[in-house]
Amino acid sequence: MIEAEVATFIEGAVMTILASRDAAMVAAIGRGVGTRRIDAATFETLVSRAQWPHLLANLQPAAPLAVTFVRAEDYRCYQIKAEVTGLAEAGEEDRARALSYIAAMSARLGALEVPPRPITAWLTDRDLLRIAYRPLALYAQTPGPQAGQRLAGRTQGGGVA
């Protein structure tokens, strides 16, 4: 469902914001510290349990999840509406991926004159959890006339476009 160009964008040094909801439909948000494509139908994002407990408290297999990816330089942005397929402890390879992401994002944001202090508050490799999810729909969210346009996803008949 997600083309290679968009997958490469998502796996890069882009701001990653996740949103979940509880049973009362109250939203919780958090930041990811690295995303990768697992296979043609699954992605996973690393998230700090210590930093974003409310977001993670709402997640279990089949829970809805929204993940937004934004390139800071030009606000090119995509949002995935997804279904959680699994949660797992992060290992050393995951931590290394998170540290690489944090370094790349810190450099990118620093080049845009964002001070280090908020960056270190936003991005941490502490107590990481892997969230695996299956995209159900993809939207362009870049500001402008195309914002909110569905790029791929479920059709009225329930299939994937």
CATH of the domain at 135: 2.30.110.10
Give the model's pLDDT for residue 76: 93
How many structural domains is the chain composed of?
1
Domain with 117, as residue range(s), is 4-153
What distance in Å separates the CA atoms of residue 110 and residue 107, rounded to the nearest whole number? 5
Q: Is residue 161 part of a domain?
A: no
Q: Is residue 26 part of a domain?
A: yes
User: Which residues neighbour 152 within 8 Å (Cβ) at sequence distance 6 or greater?
Assistant: 1, 2, 3, 135, 137, 138, 160, 161
Decide: helix, strand or coil at residue 88: strand
Strands 27-39 and 64-70: unpaired
CB–CB of 159/100 below 8 Å? Answer: no
Q: Is residue 160 part of a domain?
A: no
Is residue 102 scored above 60 in pLDDT?
yes
The mean of the pLDDT values for the chain is: 91
Q: Is residue 148 part of a domain?
A: yes
Q: Is residue 45 part of a domain?
A: yes
What is the pTM (predicted TM-score) of this model?
A: 0.90
Q: Is residue 95 part of a domain?
A: yes
